[in-house]
Structure 1
Amino acid sequence: MRFRHPDGSLVHLAYCTNVHPAEDLDGVIAQLSRYARPVRERLGAPRLGVGLWLARRVADTLITDRAELVRLRKALDHNGLEVVTLNGFPYEGFQDAVVKHNVYHPDWTTSERVRYTLDLARVLTLLLPEDVDGGSVSTLPLAWRAPWTPQQVAMADRRRDRLNRELAGLAAATGRTIRVGFEPEPGCVVETTGQAVRHLAGQGVCLDACHLAVAFEDPAEAVDRLVAAGSPIVKLQASCALELDGGADREALRAFAEPRFLHQTRAGGGAAADDLDAALDRLPADEPWRVHFHVPLHAAPEPPLRSTRHVLEDALAALFGGERALTPHVEVETYTWEVLPDPPDGPDALADGIAAELAWTADRLTALGLKREHA
């Protein structure tokens, strides 16, 4: 969906398809008609944005076979969909039975990561709508935090230098600018926006509202910090974490300690655990907790649990409530629907949930003064 900010700029709202398992192009195309088109129809939108996740194997296919890329573009058009952003954080296997730390590999010390990211950028220049000349790709915040030696720092810096050179060349050759946003995440080399400023030196950033919340960052301060440092915010991932007050019964969280994804947990006093099961064993129960578990934007969990929806609302206000829009892309990214304690019962129920999240986000954008464009 498209919105016009009072400053005249266009803001795109999409949902991320990493919620759907697909490791080949046939699977990607099938999910467009099975999920994305029904979501669009539920919203009554003539065109819906999708933030595609294209696994390494899919990116290889699209780079090497132009006919397959044309097939994808036709499938998008047929289903009333458009693409302005790609999620390049997971490399492959994101809906495997166990993901955990695998999602951080290959990292930015490797040639595989920079090649994959550049391939996504090249694909995106060919998927962008005719009237759009810029897109975004989100990626991991360099690597998991350990090991992270001086030699790895130097190697990652060289990879980013290559990325920036080739993105500039791609823009000159195509007339379309693709910006890559490194996404701070708890447990990684770059956990916070402050660390993004220190370690990424003006590189584009993808803000994830769930990650901001788990790090107990104030969204307005985080946005101001990035703007002051000259770090472009290339995308907001609209997401919510789980939250629990100090002294509340921690047993309510146990149903969310599932085996597929990593659920980094932070206590208000600074204590940290890399996964929820470890947190339940050792983090102080008298402090508030926030858990990296993406919960639906529109629906509150059962008490005593809460959603950090207030952090997302503050992030939207910081990015769009001022005189100018500070990012052009908003991507709803609740990839954890299938591992919720009460998951959706089939494709129709999942489409209902995703549509409700998008409707909630659209309402918040219009409340901030953006106007929905219906073309």
Structure 2
Amino acid sequence: MLINKKYILTYCSNIFKTKNLKKLILNIKNYIKEFKNTQRHISICLSKNLLNNFIKKKQKNLFFLKKNLIRSINGFVYQDFHKKNIKEKIYLPDWTSKYRLLYTKNIILSIKNINEIKNNISVSTMPLSYKEWTTEKQKPIIIYKSIKNIIKIISQTKNKNLINLAIEPEPYCILECYLDIINFYAIWIKKTAQKLKKHIRICYDICHFSVMFDKHEIALKSINKKQIKLGKIQISSALKIITPQKLHYAKPLILTLFKLRHSNFLHQCITKYKKNIKIYNDVNKIIKNLLNKKNIEIKIHCHIPLYKKKFKYFNTTHLETKKTIKYIKSQPLTKNLEIESYTYHFFFKKFCYTKSIKKEHVITIEE
């Protein structure tokens, strides 16, 4: 869907819990394609298995993607996105691996034919590697190997009609906040890949940057000032709480966190107490904080739709997301906006895709 004749709003297909391409396409047709005869643009999430299925019937699938106005591909998750207890395995293989390179190359080559004339397709990808797997001393080596592979893939797949690779920073990864992006471009891209800079972009996930306590307007202005291009902006909110004064109020929060701990995904948490910020790789690490200290602000990586001001016993970063959407619409930062809410329906036995997706479209458009 076009917004203000400038932006293309897509919805990411990773909301659908399926490992089967045929079922995924059926879900897109049923739930995303149209509301009130208004055509919706799709962002499709392609794991390695889904990609292999796609390639087997490439012409048929290309026709579907063209017809449904694909402008964005989620190439972050190599393994099946909704695999049981995927947790940190979601980052495997990382960008030091030839398997990540080959998988991403195959995505770009598979969609090249969609990229007709004015289309600008963005392929989002993981933030180089997961922090837990490396030390500070090893970090430059990891970045160097990753950059080498990224340069190789861009050199092999670039074309005149721009397909860009958008690196997506995420908490507890090598790249996790806006300052990491600025340093990454200044130190690494400028020296090693300046000519390919327009093809190596950033996927700005509002949920992720909210969790990192980045101020969105400052972050986006700083990124833009450094002439770092955005491939796309992903829209969803994160969970947030302030630890309560009394243990009685902490108990329901703890019970919800225990439930979240059993989610298939990692839910990275950042705590802020006065000026001290600490980062944890999953919710189980912060449960004791709810009992130990009062007035700690905690943000949790869990993609919550914009219309949710509160969620269970938590608040959300709803207002931050709304303000960021307004700012984005006033600035020519990228053409691609992508709604990406997928972890929150873990809490529900019954979930209405149509109702939720429609609400997210309406609120994003009206902001």
TM-score scaled to structure 2, two decimals?
A: 0.85
**Partner Cα distance (1:161, 1:109) in 2:** 12
Question: Which secondary structure state, in structure 2, belongs to the residue aligned with residue 222 of structure 1?
Answer: helix
What's the counterpart of residue 271 of structure 1?
278
**Partner Cα distance (1:81, 1:71) in 2:** 13
What are the equivalent positions in structure 2 for 1:62-141 lying under 5 Å apart? Answer: 62-63=54-55, 65=56, 68-76=57-65, 81-128=68-115, 130=116, 132-141=118-127
What's the counterpart of residue 372 of structure 1?
none
**Partner Cα distance (1:131, 1:282) in 2:** 54
* Cα distance change of structure 1 residues 251 and 70 upon mapping to structure 2, 3 Å threshold: farther
* Cα distance change of structure 1 residues 255 and 59 upon mapping to structure 2, 3 Å threshold: same
Task: Single out whichever of 250-259 and 231-240 deviates more from structure 2.
Answer: 250-259
**Partner Cα distance (1:35, 1:302) in 2:** 23
* Cα distance change of structure 1 residues 206 and 76 upon mapping to structure 2, 3 Å threshold: closer
Q: CA deviation at 1:285?
A: 4.1
Q: CA deviation at 1:45?
A: 4.2
Question: Which secondary structure state, in structure 1, belongs to the residue aligned with residue 302 of structure 2?
Answer: strand
Q: How many positions carry a matched residue from both structures?
A: 339
Work out whether 1:301 is the aligned partner of 2:291. Answer: no
Q: CA deviation at 1:235?
A: 0.5
Q: CA deviation at 1:298?
A: 1.0
Question: Which secondary structure state, in structure 2, belongs to the residue aligned with residue 204 of structure 1?
Answer: strand
Work out whether 1:359 is the aligned partner of 2:362. Answer: yes
Q: CA deviation at 1:16?
A: 0.5
**Partner Cα distance (2:215, 2:75) in 1:** 26
Unaligned runs of 5+ in 2: 190-196
Letter in 2 for 1:274: N
**Partner Cα distance (1:264, 1:112) in 2:** 26
Unaligned runs of 5+ in 1: 365-375
Deviations 1:272-300 (A, max 9, x none): 22111221124644211111111121122
- Select which of 160, 164, 170 maps to 1:179: 164
**Partner Cα distance (2:354, 2:81) in 1:** 19
Letter in 2 for 1:13: L
Q: CA deviation at 1:120?
A: 1.6
What's the counterpart of residue 370 of structure 1?
none
- Select which of 52, 55, 61 maps to 1:60: 52
Q: CA deviation at 1:113?
A: 1.0
Q: CA deviation at 1:262?
A: 0.7
Would the aligned equivalents of 2:256 and 2:313 in 1 still touch at CA under 8 Å?
no
**Which aligned runs of 4 or more in structure 1 are off by greater than 6 angstroms?**
none
Q: CA deviation at 1:229?
A: 2.0
Would the aligned equivalents of 1:272 and 1:279 in 2 still touch at CA under 8 Å?
no
Work out whether 1:22 is the aligned partner of 2:2. Answer: no
Question: Which secondary structure state, in structure 1, belongs to the residue aligned with residue 121 of structure 2?
Answer: strand
Task: Single out whichever of 225-234 and 181-190 deviates more from structure 2.
Answer: 225-234
Letter in 2 for 1:161: I
Q: CA deviation at 1:307?
A: 1.3
**Partner Cα distance (2:353, 2:90) in 1:** 23
Letter in 1 for 2:128: L
- Select which of 219, 222, 246 maps to 2:219: 222
Deviations 1:129-150 (A, max 9, x none): x564211011111010133324
**Partner Cα distance (2:268, 2:362) in 1:** 28
What are the equivalent positions in structure 2 for 1:151-300 lying under 5 Å apart? Answer: 151-168=141-158, 171=159, 175-200=160-185, 201=189, 203-247=200-244, 249-253=249-253, 254-256=255-257, 257-259=260-262, 260-268=264-272, 269-282=276-289, 284-300=293-309
TM-score scaled to structure 1, two decimals?
A: 0.84
Q: CA deviation at 1:231?
A: 1.4
Work out whether 1:34 is the aligned partner of 2:41. Answer: no
**Partner Cα distance (1:33, 1:184) in 2:** 30
Q: CA RMSD in A?
A: 2.2
What are the equivalent positions in structure 2 for 1:322-361 lying under 5 Å apart? Answer: 322=331, 325-340=332-347, 342-345=348-351, 349-361=352-364
* Cα distance change of structure 1 residues 50 and 250 upon mapping to structure 2, 3 Å threshold: farther
Would the aligned equivalents of 1:344 and 1:350 in 2 still touch at CA under 8 Å?
no
Would the aligned equivalents of 1:337 and 1:343 in 2 still touch at CA under 8 Å?
no
Q: CA deviation at 1:245?
A: 2.5
**Partner Cα distance (2:280, 2:313) in 1:** 21
* Cα distance change of structure 1 residues 95 and 302 upon mapping to structure 2, 3 Å threshold: closer
Question: Which secondary structure state, in structure 2, belongs to the residue aligned with residue 236 of structure 1?
Answer: strand
**Partner Cα distance (2:24, 2:226) in 1:** 37
* Cα distance change of structure 1 residues 252 and 215 upon mapping to structure 2, 3 Å threshold: farther
Letter in 2 for 1:120: I
Deviations 1:351-370 (A, max 9, x none): 21111111111111xxxxxx
Deviations 1:189-224 (A, max 9, x none): 111011012124364100111111110000011111
